[in-house]
């Protein structure tokens, strides 16, 4: 049983964002959608019946999303790491999540809702943290020169090619 659930604060896009995420990742679904009732609507300034919280799963991991208003916004200080086994997976998530968003260095991106993601090969930790310091440095240098990560190029750097 999952003990920690990421809880995301959106202005008005919680349901749209949840539907976007579940369309991208396998084993994903909308669990529940709760709506503001009269009392909550009056306090929050929201319309009664509008979406309050969406509970959803991304690849089996539960998330909740709140339409809480414009008081808070996302920053890259918190991101979601998506570990990929193949370049095809990296390409898929990169293409879908950058749609309407922005790219950053080293496999980081912000999606169209401002949520930050890291799209990285699962093998990356092994490539940058082994006992060979020179190899680790080559891989890190290669990674720092990338926007979307390239598994073959990282493996070449590890091999000294």
Q: How far apart are the first and last CA of the chain?
A: 44
Tokens of residue 145, six digits: 């020169």
Taking alpha carbons only, the member of 3, 16, 28, 46 closest to residue 115 is 16
pLDDT mean over 18-28: 98
pLDDT at 45: 85
Torsion of Cα atoms, 82 then 13 then 77 then 27, to 10° = -20
pLDDT tens for 32-73 read: 999 999 888 878 888 999 999 999 999 999 999 999 999 999
pLDDT band at 138; cut points 50, 70, 90: very high
pLDDT at 157 > cutoff 80: yes
pLDDT at 39: 85
pLDDT at 14: 98
What is the SS3 assignment for 75? coil
Compute the distance between CA of residue 89 and CA of residue 68 in angstroms, rounded to an integer.
Answer: 33
Compute the distance between CA of residue 27 and CA of residue 21 in angstroms, rounded to an integer.
Answer: 11
pLDDT at 95: 98
pLDDT tens for 77-134 read: 999 999 999 999 999 999 999 999 999 999 999 999 999 999 999 999 999 998 999 9
pLDDT at 65: 98
pTM for this prediction = 0.93
């Amino acid at each position: 049983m999952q003990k920690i659930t990421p809880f995301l604060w959106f202005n008005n896009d919680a349901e749209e964002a949840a539907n976007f995420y579940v369309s991208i990742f396998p084993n994903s679904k909308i669990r529940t959608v709760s709506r503001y009732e009269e009392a909550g609507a009056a306090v929050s300034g929201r319309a009664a019946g509008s979406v309050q919280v969406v509970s959803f799963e991304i690849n089996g991991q539960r998330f909740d999303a709140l339409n809480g208003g414009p008081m808070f916004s996302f920053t890259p200080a918190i991101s979601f790491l998506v570990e990929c086994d193949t370049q095809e997976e990296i390409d898929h998530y990169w293409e879908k999540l950058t749609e309407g968003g922005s790219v950053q260095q080293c496999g980081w991106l912000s999606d169209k809702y401002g949520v930050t993601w890291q799209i990285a090969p699962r093998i990356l930790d092994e490539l940058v943290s082994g006992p060979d310091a020179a190899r680790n440095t080559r891989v890190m240098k290669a990674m720092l020169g990338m926007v979307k990560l390239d598994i073959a190029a990282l493996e070449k750097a590890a091999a000294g090619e």
